[in-house]
Structure 1
Amino acid sequence: MDPDEKSKGTEVQGSATPVLKEKGTSQEQSTASEESFDQLWQRATEHLQARRWLQAGETFSTLLAYHEKDEEALLGLAQALDRIDRYESLYETAQHILEYNASSAQGLAFKARALQKLERLSEATIANDQALLLDTHLPLAWVNRSGLQLLQQKFPEALRSAQRATELVPDDERAWANRGVALLNFGHLLEAIAMFDKALEIDPNHLFSLQMKGEILCKLGRMRDVVPVIR
């Protein structure tokens, strides 16, 4: 199982880069459109902050109907697609970001993320290394690196990368889960549980962390503690 896999979401309707909508020609229509655009941006941002990934993706798709080359809207859509596990659409969106800005570290990190999930690990590693060359403090790139290193069974490196990820983005459950997997491979079961607990504090429905915590508790013979995890 992928180190940071979680429960699946529902796919955002529509393409990753929606067709540009026609705008009104009168000044009144233009003003209304601008107000609507600003309101959509606010709503999209609120959805992201509240971790309402599906709604965020739908709202960013609508924003892209106004301005299909808006890099910030594409990045917002990419974040939402990543979180609802739509990796083919994420790859397409990342490619669009890089078409408009070839030096986008975030675009490269999202591309790497999609490639990793599509099991194209060599390409993912190259894209992620490029992202880190452009921005050594990019949180997603460190989450990606730790996940790739776990898949490659490079556990000491994965632990260091996951630690860096949790320092940069302490509210990302995937970083804590990757750190837990790395510790588990060193036999540090209690420390691994603590990392999965951190992940579950952020997202109580993070399926991978729930599964891993349950498995460790079973190994430790703490069957009574497994029941609340399963529930």
Structure 2
Amino acid sequence: MHFGSNQSDEVSRGSCGNDSFPGLDSVDEKAMKMNAFKRWRTGSAVLGLFSLLLLVCGCSKSPAELQKKYMSLGEHYLAEGKLNEAVIEFQNLLKVNPKSAQGHYELGKAYQRKGWLIESVIQYREAVKLAPLMLDAHLSLAQYAINSGQWNPAKSEISAILKIDPSNARGWTYAGQRMSATGREAEAQKDLEHALSLKPGYPRALVAMGDLKRKQNHLKQAKDYYDKALSSAPSNSRAWAGLGLILQAKGKNDEALADFKKALAVDPDNLRSHIILANFMASQGHLHKAV
């Protein structure tokens, strides 16, 4: 009875165990290992992703840091004359902060040096819209208005400059240039003298005074002003062009041509110098060289 019971128990274990489903224990073990591997792999992937996110977050910069980075790079490239690279960096800065007045101003400077005058003016205007007291942007806009003969915009910018800084010699120089161009020569003289009293020996004001004296046909005085400007600023293209115009007025065309070429040599991108040289060549009958 005891034996039979043992036999029955043995059969029962066999029929319910390995005989009917051979290898069941090994299948369960493999399944468990596979599930464990899957869990490990999933966990590792999540951990890896989390680590990557931590790394990215740790290396990312704040908007302020990015602006500082792009500004620094842009200024570096601008100083080295790498204008395209400078433009890209200032544009990157403005993508981070479209309301950066300084960013618009620096981009305007880069455009101006590339000769993209309209684009530069757009950026300068955006700068003063965002920062109405940005003196440098107003000065750049005044310079553009003076050079392009836009006397009403020039007046507005000069007023803004002198409201911000009543002792700004450059602003008073622009005021004198505008007065001279609009036929108010006595007021021009007064404004330019005031500029020189604020900043003695200021080349920009000296050249403007030379232009005024040349316009009044006081050629010796004009030459003295140009020479004085060049003594401290030998790369002043406007002074060289002024000397050339004096020589042309005296009929000394070969010497005049040399000074016109000197004006371009010191500042090859100066549009005014190109125009003066072209007009001179045309006046000499060299139309093919004037174009």
What TM-score bracket applies, with the shorter chain setting the length?
0.7 to 0.9
Q: Which amino acid aligns with 1:86?
A: Q
How has the CA–CA distance of structure 1 residues 166 and 47 changed in structure 2, closer, same or farther, with 3 Å as cutoff? farther
Q: Aligned match of 2:282 in 214, 218, 225?
A: 214
Distance 1:204 1:58 in 2: 19
Gaps of 5+ in 1: 1-30, 219-225
Distance 2:169 2:276 in 1: 27
Q: Which amino acid aligns with 1:50?
A: K
Q: Deviations over 1:173-216 (max 9, x none)?
A: 4322211111223443211111122234424673233112432x
In the alignment, what sits opposite 1:104?
168
Partner SS, residue 85 of structure 1: coil
1:174-185 correspondence to structure 2 within 5 Å: 174-185=238-249
> Is 1:195 aligned with 2:259?
yes
In the alignment, what sits opposite 1:48?
112
In the alignment, what sits opposite 1:165?
229
TM-score, scaled to structure 1:
0.73
> Is 1:32 aligned with 2:92?
no
Q: Which amino acid aligns with 2:290?
A: I
In the alignment, what sits opposite 1:86?
150
Distance 2:177 2:290 in 1: 29
Q: Aligned match of 2:135 in 59, 71, 75?
A: 71
* Deviation larger for 82-91 or 112-121: 82-91
* Deviation larger for 72-81 or 122-131: 72-81
> Is 1:229 aligned with 2:279?
no
Distance 2:133 2:229 in 1: 30
Distance 1:47 1:40 in 2: 10
How has the CA–CA distance of structure 1 residues 55 and 200 changed in structure 2, closer, same or farther, with 3 Å as cutoff? same
* Deviation larger for 125-134 or 166-175: 166-175
How has the CA–CA distance of structure 1 residues 142 and 102 changed in structure 2, closer, same or farther, with 3 Å as cutoff? same
Aligned-pair CA distance for 1:54: 2.5
Distance 2:151 2:259 in 1: 26
1:142-161 correspondence to structure 2 within 5 Å: 142-161=206-225
Which protein, 1 or 2, shows the higher relative CO under an 8 Å CA cutoff with sep ≥ 6? 1
Q: Which amino acid aligns with 1:59?
A: Q
Q: Deviations over 1:140-192 (max 9, x none)?
A: 21221111000111111111212233444455543222111112234432111
User: Going by fraction, where is helix more abundant, 1 or 2?
Assistant: 2
Q: Aligned match of 1:129 in 193, 216, 228?
A: 193
Aligned-pair CA distance for 1:58: 1.7
Q: Deviations over 1:71-120 (max 9, x none)?
A: 12211211222232222211221122112221111110111111111121
Gaps of 5+ in 2: 1-95
Distance 1:167 1:214 in 2: 31
**How many equivalent pairs are there?**
192
Distance 2:154 2:109 in 1: 19
What percentage of residue pairs aligned between the two structures are identical? 21
Partner SS, residue 123 of structure 1: helix
Distance 2:193 2:117 in 1: 27
RMSD of aligned Cα (Å): 2.3
Q: Which runs of 4+ in 1 moved over 4 A?
A: 167-172
Distance 1:41 1:96 in 2: 16
Distance 1:138 1:53 in 2: 25
